[in-house]
Chains A and B, each alone.
Chain A
Amino acid sequence: DAGVTQSPTHLIKTRGQQVTLRCSPKSGHDTVSWYQQALGQGPQFIFQYYEEEERQRGNFPDRFSGHQFPNYSSELNVNALLLGDSALYLCASADSRSNQPQHFGDGTRLSIL
């Protein structure tokens, strides 16, 4: 049973560009959350998707947007990239019908030049 999978594993972009990161949740999970983790810091919540809608959002600008598909997979889009967007982006999934903890993927390392 595959866990949470994220792609790509690494990505290099330049300032001003746009990027799309992808996440497939653990089998049976219907909720996907995205986190940004800067080097040496703890993860920060970006937003959560459930039933193809954004359910919660953290303190991130509108340049950060997302989408959830009918198969529960999700994308994170970031527009007009800034140097400060360099980070590890983590996806976590959960089953909304259970009280079990979230499962995390290994993340996408995004570097902005």
Chain B
Amino acid sequence: SQQGEEDPQALSIQEGENATMNCSYKTSINNLQWYRQNSGRGLVHLILIRSNEREKHSGRLRVTLDTSKKSSSLLITASRAADTASYFCATDAGAAGNKLTFGGGTRVLVKP
């Protein structure tokens, strides 16, 4: 079974708009990571946030983590057509490099 649930399952926006997706998980974690997957390809690591962090930025990405609610959000600002992909959150209960437990993903379509 999967640890996380992602919301929404699918998202369609216009280029230039912001995209927000949420992830909830069930057990204690060491860190939470977000990955992007283009159709039929492997996963690309986007950002890692540790359990003692509340917010992290990387370029147009902003991730928040609320361990009391066991939830995280990923915000992509000023979206581009190239951001079209599936986005997955993954939790790690141990040190980085250990087993990752993924959510079901959010499919994002950015229309030009």
Contact for A42 among B44, B96, B97, B105, CB less than 8 A = B105
B 32-65 to A, binary, CB cutoff 8 A, 1 in contact else 0: 0101000011111100100000000000000000
Q: How far is the CA of A96 from the CA of B2 in the complex (A)?
A: 24
Known: A48-B99, A56-B98. A106 touches B41 (CB 8 A): yes
Give the chain B neighbours of A41 by CB distance below 8 A.
Answer: 2, 104-105
Q: How far is the CA of A59 from the CA of B35 in the complex (A)?
A: 22
- Cβ distance B109 to chain A, nearest Cβ, rounded Å: 15
Contact B104 A107 (CB under 8 A): no
Residues of B within 8 A of A92 (CB): 43, 100
Cβ contacts under 8 Å, B40 to chain A: 88, 107, 109
Q: Please give the distance in Å from B99's CB to the nearest CB on chain A.
A: 5
**A90-B43, A106-B41, A106-B42 are known contacts. Are A100 and B102 too (CB-CB below 8 A)?**
no
Task: Please state if B88 and A42 are interface contacts (CB–CB under 8 Å).
Answer: yes
* Contact of A44 (CB < 8 Å), options: B2, B33, B95, B96: B2
Do A101 and B101 touch (CB < 8 A)? no
Residues of chain A lying within 8 A (CB to CB) of residue B88:
42-43
Flag whether A65 is at the interface (Cβ < 8 A).
no
Chain A residues with CB under 8 Å of B48's CB are: 101
* Contact assessment for B2 and A103 in the assembled complex, using a CB-CB cutoff below 8 Å: no
> Which residues on A sit within 8 Å (CB–CB) of B90?
42
Q: Apart from A42-B102, A102-B96, list 18 A-B contacts with CB within 8 A.
A: A42-B4, A42-B105, A48-B98, A48-B99, A56-B98, A56-B99, A58-B99, A94-B96, A96-B97, A99-B95, A100-B97, A101-B48, A101-B96, A102-B97, A104-B35, A104-B42, A104-B45, A105-B42
What residues make up the interface of B, taking CB atoms closer than 8 Å to A? 1-2, 4, 33, 35, 40-45, 48, 88, 90, 95-105
Measuring CB to CB, which residues of chain A are less than 8 angstroms from any residue of chain B?
Answer: 4, 31, 33, 35, 41-45, 48, 56, 58-59, 88, 90, 92, 94-96, 98-107, 109
